[in-house]
């Protein structure tokens, strides 16, 4: 299985602090994406990083990708109460290798304490 | 319109019932997806439709029957479900429906249907 493992499973920080989540995966990928899910709701796409990219930014989000270590990290800077959610990494398999789908990691539950 | 809608929001059904979940998008996306998500677990892919044709079936039991009547609409017909099928069912869409990697593109999710099977 290519399912990603995320750590930590849960993270609680004070509002205004930075939050870092990590994702590790097992096989080669086409891209890696991060999604946010508020409790019991649908997922919202945050950012996509391709296998030939190393870092990407979007607003307060910074994503890194290290394909040699098969790992990625998501940094949320200056956290807000509204950032409280579950965060999932999702790996996109390489075309024509029999894994042309998104496979979601186990998720990190982030709680921002006001 | 930049959203995926799902109805109903909640559904409670008995094991002998037949019900359907509905998903709609008006973004012109040509790929649509069904996922199943159990509590505190990641979403698991069930089906992928590309240009209204079934592209991927992740060995889902036949009591789940997908249907894509047009490019904007995706249904999931449910029959003779088991209590372990209780979950959040998520629909998603993505822009492209062709090419080797279309199903790994950015996906846009609906809010989900919370299904309880008694």
Distances in Å between the Cα of A13 and the Cα atoms of A57, A93, B65, B85, B108 are 21, 33, 43, 35, 28
Beta-carbon separation of B101 and A107 below 8 A: no
Distance CA A47, CA A33 (A): 6
**For A32, nearest residue in chain B (alpha carbons):** B104
Distance CA B2, CA B12 (A): 29
pLDDT of the residue at A1: 47
Write out pLDDT tens, residues B69-107.
999 999 999 999 999 999 999 999 999 877 767 778 899
pLDDT beyond 60 at A42 = yes
pLDDT of the residue at A10: 96
Mean pLDDT along residues B16-45: 95
Judge whether A31 is closer than 8 Å to chain B, CB to CB. Answer: yes
Give residues with Cβ within 8 angstroms of A83, minimum separation 6. A19, A76, A110, A112
| Min Cα–Cα distance to chain B from A80, Å | 22
Distance CA A20, CA A82 (A): 16
Chain B residue numbers touching A3 (CB-CB < 8 A): 42
pLDDT of the residue at A95: 73
Count of pairs with CB atoms under 8 A, one residue in A, one in B: 65
Write out pLDDT tens, residues A53-111.
999 999 999 999 999 999 999 999 999 999 999 999 999 988 766 667 899 999 999 99
pLDDT category at A39 given cuts 50, 70, 90 is confident
């Amino acid at each position: 299985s290519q399912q990603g493992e995320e750590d930590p499973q849960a993270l609680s920080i004070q509002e205004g602090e930075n939050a870092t989540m990590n994702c590790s995966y097992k096989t080669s990928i086409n891209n890696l994406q991060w999604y946010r899910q508020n409790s019991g709701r649908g997922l919202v796409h945050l950012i996509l990083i391709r296998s030939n990219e190393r870092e990407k930014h979007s607003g307060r989000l910074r994503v890194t990708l290290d394909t040699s270590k098969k790992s990625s990290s998501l940094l949320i800077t200056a956290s807000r109460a509204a950032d409280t959610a579950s965060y999932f990494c999702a790996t996109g398999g390489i075309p024509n290798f029999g894994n042309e789908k998104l496979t979601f990691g186990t998720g990190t539950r982030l709680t921002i304490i006001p | 319109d930049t959203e995926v809608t799902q109805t109903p929001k909640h559904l409670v059904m008995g094991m002998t019932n037949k019900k359907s979940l509905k998903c709609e998008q008006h973004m012109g996306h040509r790929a649509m997806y069904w996922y199943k998500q159990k509590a505190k677990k990641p979403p698991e892919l069930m089906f992928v439709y590309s240009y209204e044709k079934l592209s991927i079936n992740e060995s889902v039991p036949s009591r789940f029957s997908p249907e894509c009547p047009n490019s904007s609409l995706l249904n999931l017909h449910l029959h003779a479900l088991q209590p372990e099928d209780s979950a959040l069912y998520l629909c998603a869409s993505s822009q492209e429906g062709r090419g080797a990697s279309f199903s790994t593109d950015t996906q846009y999710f609906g809010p989900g249907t919370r299904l309880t099977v008694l």
